[in-house]
Amino acid sequence: MTTIRRGTEADLPRVRELILELAEYERAPHEVTTTLEDMRRDGFGPQPIFGFFVAETPEAGILGIALYYTAYSTWKGRMLYLEDLVVTEAARGMGLGKLLFDAVVAEARATGAHRLKWQVLEWNEPAIGFYKRIGANLDPEWHNGNMSAAELQAYVCHPAVEAAVRG
């Protein structure tokens, strides 16, 4: 059974592994400069600037992450930015990406965000297909994804994920 939960400091080594896996997939492994120390400070220090959810199973451990941070739009106010949604290659197609996305949507709602934003590379057809299937708006140039306040409210999350995010 898959569990979606908030990430902890102890999860960071696996989170970094998944980030490196994503960088390989995106043909830019040399671009990752964030260290575990950076992630500990920035996610769990006195003023955390990001949060994340993990998808895990008892047998395989953490199979995916959704890392986000709060941003601000001068026109719309508070928003969440989904920096990375990563599911390890062997676990793709199991619905984990959808569950992780649901967790971020639920977090956006719970924190009063008026928008959810993210980006996807124009050549990443599997990710583009995923976002289209869930009804996201994709910009044709950079494929910037957005969910307005109304779309966040209309989005149907898995009930267990929504309950877990609310605590």
**So where are the chain's domains?**
3-166
Which pLDDT score is estimated for 141? 67
pLDDT at 56 exceeding the cut of 60:
yes
Q: Are 80 and 101 in contact (CB under 8 A)?
A: no
pLDDT at 142 exceeding the cut of 70:
no
In eight-state DSSP terms, residue 114 is S
0.75 cut: is pTM over it?
Answer: yes
pLDDT at 78 exceeding the cut of 90:
yes
Structurally, at CATH architecture level, domain 3-166 sits in: 3-Layer(aba) Sandwich (3.40)
The torsion angles phi and psi of 44, rounded to 5 degrees, stand at -135, 10
pLDDT in tens, 87-118: 999 999 999 999 999 999 999 999 999 999 99
Residue 131: active-site member: yes
Catalytic site residue from 25, 68, 81, 131: 131
**Token reading at 114:** 């008026």
Which pLDDT score is estimated for 148? 83
48-82 in b/e burial notation, b at 16+ Cβ within 10 A? Answer: eebbbbbbbeeeeebbbbbbbbeeeeeeeeebbbb
pLDDT at 143 exceeding the cut of 70:
no
Task: Tell me the average pLDDT across 42-55.
Answer: 98
Provide the H-helix boundaries in 49-158. Answer: 96-110, 125-133, 149-154
